[in-house]
């Protein structure tokens, strides 16, 4: 009798230890001053899943002709952008828009330039993988090829079952997007000079950048209304966010017909809602690492940060000739915060110094996010 | 007593005979201006680039005027009870987005009766249209038919190539509200209603006429190469009209020109 009760006690203890081991919360490797990112209930984080996602993120075999992976358009050294005005898919098709950075994408309440429906990375991953207009990775209808890949590569055979212990058959496309989403959620930047300044190191940014910061957060320049908060975008959320914050804005980049028209392949939110007032409305991207993510805007139509500042200073872009000719300043759907401002040369330099202080150099080489193949 | 029982049995048996459900196959044929159109049609003439579409709510009209549901046989590939995917492209020729499998018939059961007239919808019903394609049952598990960024399915993919140019259409619900997998409604449902009043089930077939679909579309216009159901796409107006869709509201009109009956022999 006593033997049985001791055995029972031992088993119970083992059970509790096992439960603690498997149920312990994922440990985010992010600064405690940041909120924790939200994670879908059906795709909890784990170290093994993140490792698996990293392998998949860099796997060229996830494209129709083996020429591109997620990392082709999201290059770590460029803060996970590709340096192109418009990205190019596996079959050479040119995307209408520019690849967005993945830095702090875990905090994105909406994930892409102009889609109000996409709020989860797991869902977003389907478009580059399977989309055919334009073709990005070109895997539409090739689900079985993906499953074959998972079953044939011993690293995936090794990691998939432990990443998805509840699954009877973990070799599935949904687990590919879940793993990639888990990996990209870990790409959090909080190590810029500006972050060190915020943490109390007064010398982390110079006086010029400090004056630039004042300008950035001033009502005169209005930048912070859309590029505000710890992530420098108003489309920001986190694990304990109370409200769904979304921002799409027309910044007066185009005005082709004098009535607000944007180029037909990039009408922004309008393409999704069909509401005329949504013409030319795009998400304000994060400004973290902004110095590294040229060219700028949804279509890469601004080559440099100086050009971007010039656009906002004018209160909208003037295109004098060509198919896109028009005065964006007069776009009737333009955000009320794009009013224009006058900057002296030194102020312009200060603003640039501040924007440059948002660069997190460590992110560009951090081995957690580098190519594991 | 025995005689009465026998009589009852006889009655049941007889009525069973005449009231046996009808096993029905509805064949579909793809044409362009009266000619069969295929992926590997000669390069000079019009050829298929793609033709896949969902058919839902298939009903036949009984002789007493009542519309009766054709219960499709779920086969874990093409059909659920109320939804089928028809697929005319075989991955050859210009159908380079496709696969070799094809499916050009609906297969199901109608209750016993006499029928004339067929109704169906081109599209995926709202309740099924906004789930996760990676968890959905066939035929909703095909990533080529899912429209990820619009958070629903492509109800129809149709594409025609000519010697020099071509045109393709992706039809589906747009201007949806909510978020992916939690869509609350779509302002432009874009589901096509088809009514073929003279259709004789078991005898006739359904013709999909791509020439009718593109009747008012200039295939050689290099500016207008496609219609993906966007609200501003003027290139959608003509094919939407042919499909019996109001381009401005996305709702179904009374008539369409693309699907018609072919009398059986």
CATH of the domain at A259: 1.10.760.10
Give yes or no for A117 touching B (CB within 8 A).
yes
Is the model's pLDDT at B174 over the cut of 90?
yes
Residue A281 has what pLDDT?
A: 98
| pLDDT one-digit tens code per residue, B215-249 | 998 877 777 789 999 887 889 999 999 999 999 88
Per-position DSSP letters for A93-140, written without gaps between them: PBPSSPPPP-TTGGGBSS-SSS-TT---HHHHTHHHHH-BTTBSS--T
Is the model's pLDDT at B166 over the cut of 80?
yes
Task: Please state, in angstroms and rounded to a whole number, the distance separating the CA atoms of residues A54 and B106.
Answer: 44
Task: Give the length of chain A.
Answer: 373
What average pLDDT does this structure show over A272-284? 95
CB–CB of A312/A251 below 8 Å?
yes
Q: Worst-scoring range by mean pLDDT, A58-67, A226-235, B64-73?
A: A226-235
Task: Please state, in angstroms and rounded to a whole number, the distance separating the CA atoms of residues B157 and B155.
Answer: 7
Is the model's pLDDT at B10 over the cut of 60?
no
What average pLDDT does this structure show over B134-144? 95
Task: Give the length of chain B.
Answer: 265
- Tell me phi and psi for residue A55, to 5 degrees: -60, -45
Chain B residue with minimal CA distance to A120?
B180
Residue B6 falls inside a structural domain: no
| pLDDT one-digit tens code per residue, A333-371 | 999 999 999 999 999 999 999 999 999 999 999 999 999
Residue B149 falls inside a structural domain: yes
What average pLDDT does this structure show over A170-197? 97
Two tokens at B32? 């362009």
Residue A235 falls inside a structural domain: yes
Residue B5 has what pLDDT?
A: 59
Task: Please state, in angstroms and rounded to a whole number, the distance separating the CA atoms of residues B116 and A291.
Answer: 69
Distance from the Cα of A152 to chain B's closest Cα (Å) equals 21
Residue B18 has what pLDDT?
A: 55
Residue A350 has what pLDDT?
A: 98
Two tokens at A253? 């980049």
Bridge partner list, B30:
B208
Say whether both A271 and A203 belong to one domain: yes
Percent of chain A beyond pLDDT 90? 90
Q: What are the strands, taking DSSP E only, across chain B?
A: 22-32, 35-36, 47-62, 67-69, 71-72, 79-80, 83-87, 105-110, 115-122, 146-147, 152-153, 156-161, 166-171, 174-179, 182-188, 192-196, 205-209, 226-227, 259-262
What average pLDDT does this structure show over A148-174? 97
What average pLDDT does this structure show over A291-320? 97
Residue B7 falls inside a structural domain: no
- Provide the CA A239 distance to its chain's centre, in angstroms: 16
CA gyration radius, chain A? 23
Residue B16 falls inside a structural domain: no
Two tokens at A213? 């910061």
Burial of A216 (0-12, 13-18, 19+ CB in 10 A): buried
Percent of chain A beyond pLDDT 70? 94
Is the model's pLDDT at A58 over the cut of 80?
yes
Two tokens at A44? 């909890």
Residue B110 falls inside a structural domain: yes
Is the model's pLDDT at A296 over the cut of 80?
yes
Residue B94 has what pLDDT?
A: 86
Residue A125 falls inside a structural domain: yes
Q: What are the strands, taking DSSP E only, across A312-356?
A: 318-319, 326-327
Residue with tokens 């959320």: A237
Is the model's pLDDT at A195 over the cut of 60?
yes
Which of A58-62, A234-238, B40-44 has maximum average pLDDT?
A: A58-62
Residue B30 falls inside a structural domain: yes
In the stretch 35-94 of chain A, residues with CB closer than 8 A to chain B read: none
CB–CB of B55/B122 below 8 Å?
yes
Instruction: Of B28, B113, B103, give the one whose Cα is nearest residue B62.
Output: B113
Residue A55 falls inside a structural domain: yes
CB–CB of B51/B89 below 8 Å?
yes
- Pairing outcome for strands B166-171 and B226-227: parallel
- Across all residues in chain B, what is the average pLDDT? 91
H or E element in which residue B125 lies: none
Residue A20 falls inside a structural domain: no
Domains in chain B: how many in total? 1
Q: What pTM value is reported for the model? A: 0.90
Q: Which residue in A127, A273, A275 is closest to B148 by CB distance? A: A127
Residue B248 has what pLDDT?
A: 86
Alpha-helical (H) ranges within A241-315 are: 269-273, 305-314
B210: containing domain: 22-262
Residue A8 falls inside a structural domain: no
Is the model's pLDDT at B251 over the cut of 70?
yes
Which DSSP symbol is given to A248? E
A168: containing domain: 47-188+364-369
Is the model's pLDDT at A207 over the cut of 90?
yes
Taking each continuous run of H as one helix and of E as one strand, the counts in chain A are 15, 4
Say whether both A66 and A156 belong to one domain: yes
Say whether both A162 and A214 belong to one domain: no
Say whether both A55 and A78 belong to one domain: yes
Say whether both A69 and A142 belong to one domain: yes
Say whether both A253 and A182 belong to one domain: no
CB–CB of A122/A108 below 8 Å?
no
Say whether both A246 and A344 belong to one domain: yes
Domains in chain A: how many in total? 2
Chain A residue with minimal CA distance to B228?
A133
Say whether both A216 and A283 belong to one domain: yes
- The residue among B52, B89, B149 with the most chain A CBs within 10 A of its CB, best to mutate, is B149
- The residue among A41, A93, A125, A132 with the most chain B CBs within 10 A of its CB, best to mutate, is A132
Say whether both A111 and A136 belong to one domain: yes
Which residues in chain A have Cβ-Cβ distances shorter than 8 Å to B228? 133
Chain A residue with minimal CA distance to B168?
A133
Inter-chain contact B143–A143, Cβ cutoff 8 Å? yes
Residue B97 has what pLDDT?
A: 79
What average pLDDT does this structure show over B172-197? 95
User: What's the pLDDT band for B4 if we cut at 50, 70, 90?
Assistant: low
Residue A322 falls inside a structural domain: yes
Residue A41 falls inside a structural domain: no
Distance from the Cα of B78 to chain A's closest Cα (Å) equals 14
Two tokens at A371? 């190519």
CB–CB of A64/A71 below 8 Å?
no
CB–CB of B134/B141 below 8 Å?
yes
- Pairing outcome for strands B79-80 and B47-62: unpaired
Say whether both A51 and A184 belong to one domain: yes
Q: Is the peptide bond before A244 cis (omega within 30 degrees of 0)?
A: no
Chain B residues with CB under 8 Å of a chain A CB are: 97-99, 132-135, 141-144, 146, 148-151, 170, 174-176, 178-181, 183, 187-188, 226, 228, 230-232
CB–CB of A287/A232 below 8 Å?
yes
Is the model's pLDDT at B45 over the cut of 80?
no
In the stretch 128-187 of chain A, residues with CB closer than 8 A to chain B read: 129-133, 139-143, 172-174, 177
Residue B232 falls inside a structural domain: yes
How many other C-beta atoms can be found within 10 angstroms of the C-beta atom of residue A89? 22
Say whether both A124 and A202 belong to one domain: no
- Written in H, E and C, the secondary structure of A175-194 is HHHHHHHHHHHCCCCCCCHH
Bridge partner list, B109:
B23, B71
Is the model's pLDDT at A7 over the cut of 70?
no
Task: Please state, in angstroms and rounded to a whole number, the distance separating the CA atoms of residues A144 and B166.
Answer: 30
Is the model's pLDDT at A95 over the cut of 80?
yes
Task: Please state, in angstroms and rounded to a whole number, the distance separating the CA atoms of residues A218 and B53.
Answer: 54
Higher pLDDT, A20 or A188: A188
CA A39 → CA A184, A185, B179, B233, distances in Å? 12, 9, 16, 36
Q: How far apart are the first and last CA of chain B?
A: 50
Inter-chain contact A141–B143, Cβ cutoff 8 Å? yes
Say whether both A203 and A339 belong to one domain: yes
Inter-chain contact B149–A139, Cβ cutoff 8 Å? no
Residue A4 falls inside a structural domain: no
Tally C-beta pairs within 8 A across A and B.
Answer: 85
What 3-state DSSP class applies to B80?
strand
Residue B16 has what pLDDT?
A: 47
Residue B134 falls inside a structural domain: yes
Which residues in chain B have Cβ-Cβ distances shorter than 8 Å to A118? 149, 151, 179-180
Burial of A278 (0-12, 13-18, 19+ CB in 10 A): buried
- Tell me phi and psi for residue B127, to 5 degrees: -65, -25
């Amino acid at each position: 009798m006593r033997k049985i009760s001791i055995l029972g006690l031992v088993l119970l203890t083992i059970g509790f230890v096992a439960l603690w081991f498997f149920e312990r919360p994922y440990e985010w490797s992010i600064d405690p001053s940041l909120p924790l990112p939200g994670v879908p209930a059906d795709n909890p984080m784990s170290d093994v899943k993140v490792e698996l996602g990293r392998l998949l993120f860099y796997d060229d075999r996830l494209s129709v002709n083996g020429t591109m992976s997620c990392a082709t358009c999201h290059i770590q050294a460029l803060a996970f952008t590709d340096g192109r005005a418009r990205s190019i898919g596996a079959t050479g098709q040119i995307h209408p828009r520019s690849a967005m950075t993945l830095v702090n994408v875990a905090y994105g309440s909406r994930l892409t330039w102009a889609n109000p429906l996409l709020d989860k990375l797991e869902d977003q991953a389907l478009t580059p993988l399977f989309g055919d207009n334009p073709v990005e990775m070109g895997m539409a209808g090739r689900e079985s090829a993906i499953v074959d890949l998972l079953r044939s590569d011993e690293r995936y055979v090794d990691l998939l079952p432990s990443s998805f212990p509840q699954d009877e058959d973990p070799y599935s496309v949904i687990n590919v997007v879940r793993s990639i989403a888990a990996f990209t959620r870990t790409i959090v930047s909080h190590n810029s000079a500006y972050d060190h300044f915020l943490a109390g190191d007064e010398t982390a940014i110079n006086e010029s950048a400090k004056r630039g910061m004042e300008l950035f957060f001033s009502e005169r320049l209005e930048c912070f209304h859309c590029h505000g908060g710890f992530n420098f975008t108003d489309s920001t959320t986190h694990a304990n966010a109370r409200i769904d914050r979304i921002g799409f804005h027309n910044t007066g980049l185009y005005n082709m017909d004098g009535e607000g028209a944007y180029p037909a392949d990039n009408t922004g939110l309008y393409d999704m809602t069909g509401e005329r007032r949504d013409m030319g409305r795009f998400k304000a991207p994060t400004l973290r690492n902004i110095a590294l993510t040229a060219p700028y805007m949804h279509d890469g139509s601004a080559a440099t940060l100086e050009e971007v500042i010039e656009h906002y200073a004018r209160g909208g872009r003037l295109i004098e000739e060509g198919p896109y000719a028009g005065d964006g300043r007069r776009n009737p759907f333009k955000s009320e915060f794009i009013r224009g401002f006058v900057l002296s040369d030194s102020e312009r330099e200060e603003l640039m110094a501040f924007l440059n202080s948002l660069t997190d150099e460590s992110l560009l080489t951090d081995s957690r996010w580098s190519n594991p193949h | 007593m025995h005689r009465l029982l026998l009589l009852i049995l006889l009655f049941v048996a007889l009525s069973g005979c005449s009231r046996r459900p009808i096993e029905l196959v509805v064949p579909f044929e793809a044409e362009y201006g009266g000619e069969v159109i295929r992926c590997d049609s000669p390069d000079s003439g019009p050829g298929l680039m793609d033709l896949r579409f969902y058919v839902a709510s298939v009903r036949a009209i009984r002789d007493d005027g009542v519309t009766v549901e054709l219960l499709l046989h779920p086969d874990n590939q093409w059909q659920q009870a109320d939804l089928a995917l028809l697929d005319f492209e075989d991955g050859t020729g210009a159908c380079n987005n496709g696969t070799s499998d094809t499916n050009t018939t609906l297969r199901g059961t109608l209750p016993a009766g006499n029928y004339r007239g067929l109704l169906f919808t081109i599209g995926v019903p709202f309740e099924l249209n906004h789930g996760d394609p990676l968890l959905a049952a066939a035929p909703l598990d095909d990533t080529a038919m899912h429209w990820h960024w619009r958070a629903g399915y492509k109800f129809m993919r149709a594409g025609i190539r000519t010697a020099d140019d071509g045109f393709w259409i992706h039809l589906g619900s747009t201007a949806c509200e909510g978020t992916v997998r939690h869509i609350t409604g779509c302002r432009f449902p874009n589901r096509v209603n088809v009514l073929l009043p003279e259709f004789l089930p078991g005898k006739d077939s359904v013709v999909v006429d791509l020439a009718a679909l593109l009747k008012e579309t200039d295939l050689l216009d290099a500016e207008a190469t496609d219609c993906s159901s966007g609200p501003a796409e003027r290139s959608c107006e003509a094919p939407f009209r042919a499909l019996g869709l109001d381009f401005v509201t996305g709702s179904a009109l009374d008539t369409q020109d693309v699907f018609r009956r072919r009398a059986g022999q």
